[in-house]
Structure 1
């Protein structure tokens, strides 16, 4: 962030706390050597890992297994020109441990599109960054809108 740019940098714990307030984010991954972005519902595990629940047969499961991905969540109020954005970057893995899968089936995010066989994708929060728009329409007490 640049000083006086109208944004405030968010700390790791604040980023993770804000993410619990929204149900949908976007996973950014590579598909056919090109960047791909997919909106998904999600949850956070106790350690801050991002959890996705999807069909075990989905292309997403195959595309992200073992890859470094980014996950972005935000909350923006266009009318007030305010909001925040958080990005979690880390390795994605498909949960294969039966006990862990059972735990996540009870406590993890519910799929908005249930499938006969579901998989959990776990994104380790290796890098967590975020920023909040603090300037909005009045930056430093001066109305910058028309």
Structure 2
């Protein structure tokens, strides 16, 4: 994926990236995070922007608490492990999501999983997607598994899990997968898509999944 960085932005290390990402997920400004963690805003900016920053263990714990996550998550300790390692919360609450909330959670882009029926067996593969003109769109290449779902009903799932709080959500889209071939439509998708595919390579086949049905669920705590 091509990285989008504002002009003049310094390169970041893993810790800085995770602090900034988690802060943005919670909708916090640098100043708000600094207040929560009882730190100077300039220090938060320093951590986010400098790859050599190495806060003490106590500082990292305070940051993790302010960001409602764990020090291990901020440090990338679970990067090669599946989500959902935490224990169930003491007072979990399960709820169904309405269509409007599902659309909000899908947002404008992310990584999701397309489920298709192949000749051998059902297959699920991840793709990074964008939401354009009320449809899921992604780019792939000839011969990939995801193209076996063309002109069929497929499912597309997006989720987010918070291991530190043992909560999360999942949204499932049902619709027909169609290849986009019109040159003008392809150009518009290329202009509006968030980024190039993470997998790299020549991926010039555009697939569109209309949202004929949306369902979602959330687990949080009382």
| Structure with larger Rg | 2
Distance between the aligned counterparts of 2:160 and 2:100, measured in 1?
17
Answer whether contact 1:54 1:115 (CA < 8 A) is retained. Answer: no
Distance between the aligned counterparts of 2:220 and 2:159, measured in 1?
14
Q: Does 1:105 align with 2:200?
A: no
Structure 2 residue runs without a partner (length 5+): 1-91
The count of aligned residue pairs is 130
Question: What TM-score results when the alignment is normalised by the length of structure 1?
Answer: 0.80
Distance between the aligned counterparts of 1:25 and 1:16, measured in 2?
14
Question: Please, what is the CA RMSD of the aligned residues?
Answer: 1.9
Distance 1:24 1:63, change over 3 A: same
1:61, distance to aligned residue in structure 2 (A): 5.2
The structure with the greater share of residues assigned to helix is 2
Q: Provide the residue aligned with 1:144 in structure 2.
A: none
Question: What TM-score results when the alignment is normalised by the length of structure 2?
Answer: 0.54
1:12, distance to aligned residue in structure 2 (A): 1.2
Structure 1 residue runs without a partner (length 5+): 140-146
Q: Provide the residue aligned with 1:94 in structure 2.
A: 179
From 127, 137, 140, the equivalent of 1:51 is: 137
From 103, 125, 134, the equivalent of 2:220 is: 134
Answer whether contact 2:114 2:146 (CA < 8 A) is retained. Answer: no
Answer whether contact 2:139 2:203 (CA < 8 A) is retained. Answer: no
Distance between the aligned counterparts of 1:21 and 1:84, measured in 2?
17
Give SS of 2:202's match.
coil
Distance between the aligned counterparts of 2:163 and 2:122, measured in 1?
27
* 1:9-61 Cα deviation digits (max 9, x unpaired): 111121111112762111000122411000111111132x1111112x13235
Distance 1:101 1:61, change over 3 A: farther
Q: Provide the residue aligned with 1:63 in structure 2.
A: 148
Distance 1:92 1:107, change over 3 A: same
Say which is worse superposed, 92-101 or 59-68, in terms of deviation. Answer: 59-68
Give SS of 1:6's match.
strand
Distance between the aligned counterparts of 1:40 and 1:116, measured in 2?
15
Distance between the aligned counterparts of 1:36 and 1:61, measured in 2?
9
Q: How does 1:110-129 map to 2 (within 5 A)?
A: 110-116=196-202, 118-129=204-215
